[in-house]
Chain A
Amino acid sequence: MAIHNRPLCLLALLLLVGALALPFLSHAPNRLISGQPVPLWTLGSGAWLVLLPGLALLAGPFLPQRRRTVGLLALAALLLLVGLVHAAALGAELLAQDAGRAARTSFGAGFWVMALAAVLALADLVARAGPGPVLRLVIGLAAALPILAMVLSGHLDQLSILKEYANRADQFQAALLRHAVIVLAALLPTLAFGVPLGVLAHRRRRLGASILSGLNLVQTVPSIAIFGLLIAPLSALATLVPAARALGISGIGLAPAVIALTLYSLLPIVRNTAAGLAQVPASAIDAARGMGMTRRQVFWKVEAPLALPVFLSGLRITVVQAIGLAAVAALIGAGGLGAIMFQGLFSNALDLILLGALPIIAFAALADALFKAAVDLSKRGSA
């Protein structure tokens, strides 16, 4: 039998290992005791029937990768992913029937390995089928929305991660909002300074080289070090200037987080603004000037729209990076989902870590998908 898709072959192997050799869930009578492994086959037919699309993926590597086949396999990977969550929920409900209220059911290694394999298979197959930007977004939503619906409908309530959520719903919602505030607050100065700096870097090549090497240097400093370095000057500022204190500026909290995030975010914005402008055809600019466009018209009608795709891919990097970095900012008291994550880390509560980390990953993935679609759409006409 010929193998037509090597990556998928490896992922199918991973699926088998995850399904047969690793515990699907882990169950403990209460959160202080470490969990007992729960294999997939002990969960009853209801749970593993939803994993049948996985069989298609096992056959997938041996089928010729025609567009239609690849599309169907991608659908199978998508169904498997949703099915895994559903199966975990069913399993948790089953285990909850003969256990106390304090019992905890969490995802086991088998779940994670299969979920990872399903996500990677979906990514590989979608890349092979090469759908347009809008269809790609739809596929992403088709995976995310059923899972979100399960979360909201209470179907997953017996899983420990949602029990952790139920215990601190208010804290979670505040953290979510705070996370978004940190990212958006950093994005505003990043755009306000980054775009003009990028234009400047494009127009003055030598100055641009120094700006970029400076920003590159910032990127090499670990984020935790930047946060630390900002504490002293900002506390000094807050002590010396009452107005700064009145604005809520202090050595820890939102101010240093936003400043640090801005410093990191500048590089991709400045670099991609300059790179976007640099790849605008010189002949188009010459023609635009020669036909009597003013400098401003040349910039807004010709240079800016032609630089937009590259700029947007810089913005994509910036936003995804900022969503991740904002988690680290929790260490200096900025709050956000990172605070929940670290709380779990320090109290050795895996489910709490997940409660902080999974939404961060989901947000980063969502931002990534949205900006990728925006980049593709902005390229129309100039392929």
Chain B
Amino acid sequence: MIEFRNITKTFNAVTVIEGLNLIVERGEFCVLIGPSGSGKSTILRMINRLIEHSAGEIRFAGEPIRSFAPEVLRRRIGYAIQSVGLFPHWTVEANIATVPRLLGWDAARIEARIAELMALLGLDAARFRTAYPHQLSGGQQQRVGVARALAADPDVLLMDEPFGALDPITRDSLQAEMRRIHAETGKTIVFVTHDMDEALRLASRVVILDKGRIVQSATPRELLHAPANDFVREFLGKDDYGLKLLSVETAGAHMRREDSGAVAEAVREQDSLRLALSHMVALKTDRLGVEDSTGRRVGLLLLADIVT
């Protein structure tokens, strides 16, 4: 879907990205992570030509991005940023309708799309449709920001630390929404963060950057089990490394297919082992039931199976 071929970017003779090669496949949830100043935002903004690359070639949907007019390219790529950037003088619905209006959709189609997106992002349309951004909480504003980015059903979604300024609880629920939206829509997402837990939770692939170069590009599991070097190990952290390992494993993959009717409490198949462990500690128990998404019991999870 997106392909960086030997990309270099220099700002006033200072090279910030050097020889970058990266392919983001259709449907991938690709998370770029690295310390501040490592070039994450620059890479992201080169995709929609908010920043022009200095050398090499970037392809979008098989075509060099410079073969598109920048505006045409950008209207096909959703864009959400940490500071949200809602238009303060427009209502929530007008904000969401930005790109469809630019594309000249008819009113009925825009109406329907606004309703659909507000439902998708868990925004109460009756309350918020005609509200102005300053009447919304930070979390609600970012929900509108994400809805606006998704409005014209773009092929690709670019997100630059979208949840970085939110409190942990709000961030947690928005991360869950993003996972669900990715699963439901199959969109290609390129997501920038400096929070490793967020990366491990969301990514189908994590790209670790340092000083404008890719240090490692791998699935969360591969990353945890085979960090490429000390920099990656450092970045993964020491104290809660074990918990991170558990966070990329699901209860469904480690449960026993045994009857768990005798156990009162249960987690879901797709819940992480980290969550399951947390519940066990909180409930002072060494076993939990496992249920599928319909609430039917499908297995039993033992503490011993988590640890080994």
Q: Which residues of A contact B (CB under 8 A)?
A: 281-294, 297, 301-302, 305-306, 380-383
Given A292-B72, A293-B71, A382-B132; A287-B86 close (CB under 8 Å): yes
Please pick, from A283, A301, A381, the residue contacting B91 in the complex, using a CB distance under 8 A.
A381
Nearest CB on B from A281, distance (A):
7
Interface flags, B119-160, vs A, CB<8A=1, else 0: 000000000000010100000000001001100000000100
Q: Which residues of A are found within 8 Å of B86, using beta-carbon distances?
A: 284, 287
Nearest CB on B from A310, distance (A):
13
Given A284-B88, A382-B88; A291-B132 close (CB under 8 Å): no
Given A291-B148, A292-B102; A284-B85 close (CB under 8 Å): yes
Q: Which residues of B are found within 8 Å of A286, using beta-carbon distances?
A: 50, 81, 83, 85
Q: Which residues of A are found within 8 Å of B85, using beta-carbon distances?
A: 281, 283-288, 290
Nearest CB on B from A306, distance (A):
6
Q: Which DSSP category, helix, strand, loop or mixed, fits chain A's interface?
A: helix
Q: Which residues of A are found within 8 Å of B70, using beta-carbon distances?
A: 292
Q: Which residues of B are found within 8 Å of A287, using beta-carbon distances?
A: 79, 81, 84-87, 145, 148
Q: Which residues of A are found within 8 Å of B272, using beta-carbon distances?
A: none
Name B95's closest neighbour in chain A (CB-CB): A287
Q: Which residues of A are found within 8 Å of B72, using beta-carbon distances?
A: 292
Name B145's closest neighbour in chain A (CB-CB): A287
Known contacts A302-B87, A382-B132; 11 further A-B pairs (Cβ under 8 A): A283-B83, A284-B86, A284-B87, A287-B84, A287-B145, A288-B87, A290-B158, A291-B74, A292-B71, A292-B72, A383-B132
- Is the beta-carbon distance between B79 and A382 smaller than 8 angstroms? no
| B50, B70, B87: residue with the most chain A Cβ atoms closer than 10 Å | B87
Nearest CB on B from A293, distance (A):
7
Q: Could you tell me which residues of chain B, from 42 to 87, have a CB within 8 Å of some CB in chain A?
A: 45, 48, 50, 70-75, 79, 81, 83-87
**Is B190 in the interface zone, CB < 8 Å from A?**
no
- Is the beta-carbon distance between B90 and A381 smaller than 8 angstroms? yes
Name A383's closest neighbour in chain B (CB-CB): B134
Q: Which residues of B are found within 8 Å of A381, using beta-carbon distances?
A: 88-91, 132
**Is B31 in the interface zone, CB < 8 Å from A?**
no
Nearest CB on B from A273, distance (A):
17
Q: Could you tell me which residues of chain B, from 1 to 51, have a CB within 8 Å of some CB in chain A?
A: 45, 48, 50
Cα A284 to Cα B84 with chains together (Å): 8
